[in-house]
Every structure is written in structure tokens, then in C-alpha cells.
Amino acid sequence: MNDRVSITIENHVADVRLNRADKMNALDPAMFDGIIAALKRLQTEPGVRAVVLSGEGRSFCAGLDMASFSAPDGASGGAAGGDTPARLTDRPFGNTNRFQEVAFGWRRLPMPVIAAVHGVCFGGGLQIMSGACIRIIAPDARLSIMEMRWGLIPDMGGYALWRGTVRDDALRELTYTNREFSGEEAGRIGFATHVDADPHARAMAIATDIASKNPDAIRAAKDLFNRTPDLDTDAILMEESVLQDQIIRTPNQMEAVFAFMQKRNANFS
């Protein structure tokens, strides 16, 4: 992992920060590399039960750094960051291309991810934020689905991540016009879970609460949340039963019961 992304882990919470403050954490090839490396590390990081994702400096992420992407098709480097431009239809990360992975990869992590958003959150930054399970946005944050300004459709996984979250008519208007909107408006239409003047502190508090729960149950719950949009009712009911059967009467589940009854903090493995 390069210096574009930092990870600090304490009390089972990973504090992940985009670290290009002088450019409002705009996405250049090195930032893409840093985010993908961070995702790979977190996928298997032992003991991490929740992730808080934020940006250093004045903003969360100003979106794509257009000057840094000079290849003829708008892609600077292939899936591995090399000199050969990648086709957007390539799938080096399972079901995503390189650009989609930096946003959708947060949804694919086994533990919950909470985005803390302040300042500017444009274009690709908005998609990265949308990859989080929970989004805390400052009321005066500036957001935009930026792609139509450049004559493009939203990409980086936006449509898949917004499905079932953002109010459809509002999402269409924001996409077609690429106008800016505030954190307050984001709360009204579904982009924000909570609107808070100190989004990072609120996100850390929620992450700490999540980290105190049975990590097996939390991961199973996220897995089921991720899969239910594509399942019919019968399949959802069966998957719920399968996952519950795997959790019930396990050591961590019993520890949750005993800790509650004995009025003490749980000690999960």
C-alpha cells in the first residue's frame, strides 16, 4: 500500500483515510492503487470488526483528477496500474473493473464500513462514499454526481450502489443535471444515513458500537444485506435460516448472551 491511503487499527476499528489533502484527495492512479491495496489488506485483516472511511484535510474526495489520466480512452494504466490502457469491460476484480473496484470494494468487505464525509464529495468520491454501509455527512458538505458535466454516465459502480438507497426521482434529477447538493439534502433523499457536523466522530462512535457485537453475526448480517436485492423471497428466507444455523450456539454467540446477562463487556474471539 502506498502513502495515498492510511490505516490505523485500534479496538477492532480500522480508521482509513484518503491521504492526498493538497488535492482534496482527488483520484489519480496512485490513489486508485492505494485504495485497492487497502481493500486487499482489510479483506483479511485479523480482528477488524468495523471500518471508518474518511478524507484528510478540507474534503472527503474531489473526484477524478482529470489531468493525471492521459491515456486516449481516459484510462491511465491497466488493471494492475501498468502502461497498457484497460478496457472498461475487463473484470480483473471478479465483477468489477479497476475504477468500479475502489467504490464497490467497500461493499464487498466482510465487515461494515462507515463513511464520514466533509467538504467536497464529487464524482468518483461520491461513488466511493456510496460503497459504505452507513454514510455520515456534514450538513455543509458539497456533493455532486459529476459525470454528466463531462458528457458521461455515472460509473465506478454508482448505479449498483445507489439501488434501493437513494430516492429514484431525486437521483435521476441529480444525474441529469450534475448540480451540487448539500449534506442536508443528502439526508433527505437517501445518500446520508445521518447528517452531523462532526461526521468522523459520529462514524467512530457507530463503529465502536458495532465492534462490541458478535463479529460472526455482524459479518453474516452484512452478507445477507448484500445478497437480498438479487434473491426472491423464498431464497431470502432460506439464506436467513442457513446463516442463523451457522451462528447459533457457537462460542461467540453464547458469549454475547452471557455478557448481556452478566452485565459486562463481551470478549469475542
CATH number at residue 16: 3.90.226.10
Instruction: Give 221's contacts (C-beta < 8 A, 6+ positions apart).
Output: none
Residues 224 and 95 in one domain: no
Q: What is the pLDDT of residue 70?
A: 60
Which domain-ending residue is among 186, 210, 234? 210
Tell me what the mean pLDDT of segment 97-123 comes to.
98
> If we measure between CA atoms, which residue out of 72, 67, 64 comes closest to residue 145?
64
Among all chains, which residue has been given the C-alpha cell 496500474?
Answer: 81
Tell me what the mean pLDDT of segment 26-48 comes to.
97
Residues 90 and 201 in one domain: yes
Contact 152, 182 (CB under 8 A): no
Q: How confident is the model at residue 204 (pLDDT cuts 50, 70, 90)?
A: very high
Range(s) of the domain holding residue 251 = 214-261
What pLDDT digit, counting tens, does each position of 48-107 carry?
Answer: 999 999 999 999 999 999 887 664 444 443 333 444 567 999 999 999 999 999 999 999
Mean pLDDT lowest for which of 17-21, 74-78, 113-117, 175-179?
74-78
Query: Domain with 218 in it: what CATH number?
Result: 1.10.12.10
Whether 72 is in a domain gets the answer yes
Helix (H, G, I), strand (E, B) or coil at 140: coil
Q: How confident is the model at residue 124 (pLDDT cuts 50, 70, 90)?
A: very high
Tell me what the mean pLDDT of segment 190-199 comes to.
98
Residues 128 and 243 in one domain: no
Q: What is the pLDDT of residue 85?
A: 61
Residues 53 and 182 in one domain: yes
Which domain-ending residue is among 210, 226, 246? 210
The percent of residues above 90 in pLDDT, for the chain, comes to: 91
Torsion-angle region of 12 (φ positive above 0: left; ψ -120 to 50: alpha; else: beta): left
What pLDDT digit, counting tens, does each position of 16-25 carry?
Answer: 999 999 999 9
Whether 244 is in a domain gets the answer yes
Residues 157 and 247 in one domain: no
Q: What is the pLDDT of residue 66?
A: 82
Whether 150 is in a domain gets the answer yes
Residues 29 and 157 in one domain: yes
DSSP letter string, 208-253: HHHHTS-HHHHHHHHHHHHHGGGS-HHHHHHHHHHHHHHHTTSHHH
Whether 38 is in a domain gets the answer yes
Residues 165 and 248 in one domain: no
Residues 175 and 204 in one domain: yes
Contact 103, 155 (CB under 8 A): no
> If we measure between CA atoms, which residue out of 104, 131, 91, 98 comes closest to residue 115?
131
Radius of gyration for the alpha carbons in the chain, expressed in angstroms and rounded: 19
Whether 220 is in a domain gets the answer yes
Which domain-ending residue is among 210, 231, 251? 210
CA angle 44/7/80 to nearest 5° reads 65
**Distance in angstroms (rounded) separating the CA atoms of residues 33 and 69:** 14
Handedness of CA 154, 189, 202, 51 (dihedral sign): negative
Residues 142 and 228 in one domain: no
**Distance in angstroms (rounded) separating the CA atoms of residues 187 and 166:** 10
Among all chains, which residue has been given the C-alpha cell 482534496?
Answer: 24
**Distance in angstroms (rounded) separating the CA atoms of residues 80 and 139:** 37
